């Protein structure tokens, strides 16, 4: 194990603990299992409070279930009214414990607060665990990110970038382990050993800035694409809510069903994830977000 990987070992252990707590001990968590959904909310809020962070809850009721987006704000010093939102949904689809989808990304989100909390940032970074991304809310329902983005627009929040973390735990060096929507496979690797940055066409400038910041922070492989939102998968997470509210937004992902065989199944369990590479991605994202928060233009 080289020095870089050795330094990431404690982070990998922390990510593993978070995923096992959410997808193992709590398991399937959604409005059909409201007690588990509340337990996930409590776990996330508690993890951030254990770091010494002030936690905000944006509560609302849907389908008779009390729900909440969970937020930590790292206030900027030079340009505090300019905001970067980083989010990951903490609910899982009906019938799945949701280790990769999306406990993996929530685990990274939780540790980003620890890594970024030691830095002085020019812009404010808000880390948000969103509720209710999965069906029956996905796309048109009361998605937690939709509630959040509408409230931000009503306040005229100056969100310069929203970054949606969506499945960050599956990586493979095997040839043919990566698939794509039609035609894209001609332009990208056939091995699923990278993290993908994806946006709609209107957010391509923000995408370019985020990818440049990530590559300046880590040598972990990444690929990127600004694509029409109608291409399958491009709009399938919380970035959609921010596009609808008029904000630039991107998704960072292991590409979900284009790589992960257990997507939306009962077999999406914690032991299937690659925590060492998740830690490398988390470190790269922390460095990228620090650069984006301090950059002159975004």
298 residues of the chain, pLDDT tens digit each: 344 555 579 999 999 999 999 999 999 999 999 999 999 999 999 999 999 999 999 999 999 999 999 999 999 999 999 999 999 999 999 999 999 999 999 999 999 999 998 899 999 999 999 999 999 999 988 999 999 999 999 999 999 999 999 999 999 999 999 999 887 878 899 999 999 999 999 999 999 999 999 999 999 999 999 999 988 889 999 999 999 999 999 999 999 999 999 999 999 999 999 999 999 999 999 999 999 999 878 8
Distance of alpha carbon 237 from alpha carbon 110, whole angstroms: 18
Give φ, ψ of 210 to 5 degrees: -65, -40
What are 105's two structure tokens?
Answer: 């990304």
Identify the DSSP state of 197: E
> Which CATH architecture is the domain 3-294 placed in?
3-Layer(aba) Sandwich (3.40)
Distance of alpha carbon 69 from alpha carbon 91, whole angstroms: 11
User: Whole-model pTM?
Assistant: 0.96
Q: Which position has the token pair 């991304």?
A: 133
- Whole-Å CA distances, 261 to 50, 60, 61, 134, 198: 34, 34, 33, 18, 21
Return the pLDDT at 194: 98
> Is the CB of residue 12 less than 8 Å from the CB of residue 266?
no
What are 169's two structure tokens?
Answer: 């735990």
Pairing label, strands 158-166, 249-253: parallel
Question: Domain residue spans in the chain?
Answer: 3-294
Pairing label, strands 65-74, 56-62: antiparallel
All residues at 6 or more sequence positions from 201 whose CB lies less than 8 Å from its CB, including other chains: 226, 227, 228, 229
The order of strands in the sheet holding 158-166 is 56-62, 65-74, 123-130, 79-89, 158-166, 249-253, 195-199, 222-226
Q: Could you tell me which residues are beta bridge partners of residue 60? A: 67
Distance of alpha carbon 117 from alpha carbon 119, whole angstroms: 5
Distance of alpha carbon 123 from alpha carbon 125, whole angstroms: 6
> Is the CB of residue 92 less than 8 Å from the CB of residue 28?
yes
């Amino acid at each position: 194990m080289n020095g870089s990987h050795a330094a990431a070992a404690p982070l990998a252990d922390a990510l593993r603990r978070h995923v096992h707590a959410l997808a193992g001990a709590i398991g399937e968590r959604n409005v059909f299992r409201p007690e588990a959904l509340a337990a996930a909310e409590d776990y996330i809020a508690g993890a951030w409070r254990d770091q010494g962070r002030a936690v905000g809850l944006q509560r609302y009721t849907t389908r008779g279930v009390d729900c909440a987006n969970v937020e930590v704000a790292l206030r900027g010093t030079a340009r505090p009214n300019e905001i970067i939102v980083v989010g990951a949904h903490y609910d899982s689809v009906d019938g799945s414990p949701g280790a990769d989808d999306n406990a993996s990304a929530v685990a990274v989100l939780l540790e980003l607060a620890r890594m970024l909390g030691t830095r002085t940032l020019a812009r404010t970074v808000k880390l948000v665990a969103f509720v209710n991304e999965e069906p029956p809310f996905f796309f048109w329902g009361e998605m937690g990110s939709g509630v959040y983005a509408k409230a931000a627009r009503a306040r005229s929040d100056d969100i310069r970038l929203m970054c949606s973390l969506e499945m960050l735990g599956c990586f493979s060096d095997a040839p043919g382990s990566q698939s794509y929507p039609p035609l894209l496979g001609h332009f990208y690797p056939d091995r699923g050993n990278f993290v993908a940055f994806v946006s709609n066409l209107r957010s391509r400038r923000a995408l370019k800035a985020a990818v440049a910041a990530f590559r300046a922070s880590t040598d972990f492989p990444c690929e990127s694409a600004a694509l029409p939102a109608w291409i399958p998968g491009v709009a399938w997470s919380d970035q959609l809510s921010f596009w609808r509210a008029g904000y630039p937004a991107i998704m960072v992902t292991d590409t979900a069903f284009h790589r992960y065989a257990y997507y939306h199944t009962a077999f999406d369990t914690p032991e299937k994830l690659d925590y060492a590479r998740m830690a490398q991605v988390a470190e790269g994202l922390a460095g990228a977000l620090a650069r984006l928060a301090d950059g002159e233009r975004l």
